[in-house]
């Protein structure tokens, strides 16, 4: 689990890169590089206020994957204390 002050979603990742998606820590935030298709799905999920999961890592890495989970919560005050 990584805490971040901000998240940047970059929809310019090429399918030919061999990655499903890539995540990296940038300053005190998180940058997630995703394909254009994933960006469209993410935008729709945000419009619909639905949870969304991004699988990061190489396409052929087997079980070695990282995940970026975007979750909607009921009570924001409880989740953002401190």
Torsional class of 13: left (φ above 0), alpha (ψ -120 to 50), beta (otherwise): beta
Compute the average pLDDT of residues 8-15.
Answer: 94
pLDDT tens for 41-54 read 999 999 999 999 99
Supply the pTM of this predicted model: 0.79
Compute the average pLDDT of residues 16-31.
Answer: 91
- CATH architecture of residue range(s) 6-70: 2-Layer Sandwich (3.30)
d(CA 45, CA 63): 25
């Amino acid at each position: 689990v990584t805490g971040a002050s901000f998240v940047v979603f970059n929809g310019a990742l090429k399918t030919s890169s061999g990655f499903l998606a890539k995540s990296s820590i940038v300053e005190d935030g998180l940058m997630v590089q995703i394909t254009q298709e994933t960006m469209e799905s993410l935008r729709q999920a945000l419009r619909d206020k639905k949870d969304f999961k991004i699988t990061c890592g190489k396409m052929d890495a087997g079980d070695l994957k990282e995940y970026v989970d975007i979750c909607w919560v009921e009570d924001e005050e409880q989740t953002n204390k401190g």
